[in-house]
Amino acid sequence: MPITSEALKQDPDQLTEDQLAEVADFIAFLKFRDKRRRVAFDPAQLATLATEFAEDGRALAEAGISECAAMLVQEDQL
């Protein structure tokens, strides 16, 4: 059985305030989800971002390895 907007408009009158708040949250979620689906990503921009993240990741890993080595030396001295 198809749901009509007229039938949906009558339902809120029978809901509690808490239920109305949940409905409002769900409607906000649906609008948000719809906006996300409409976003078109430029493949060139994504490639640039991936390269930047990879460089940042390598730098953090190298810093982390140096830091880790220093902590191991410090633990050995205890």
- What's the confidence (pLDDT) of residue 45? 85
- What's the confidence (pLDDT) of residue 24? 92
Residues of the chain falling short of pLDDT 70:
1, 39
Give this prediction's pTM.
0.41
CA distance 27 to 4: 16
CA distance 13 to 20: 9
CA distance 61 to 55: 10
- What's the confidence (pLDDT) of residue 27? 92
- What's the confidence (pLDDT) of residue 60? 77
Tokens representing 32 are 């948000």
- What's the confidence (pLDDT) of residue 1? 66
- What's the confidence (pLDDT) of residue 66? 73
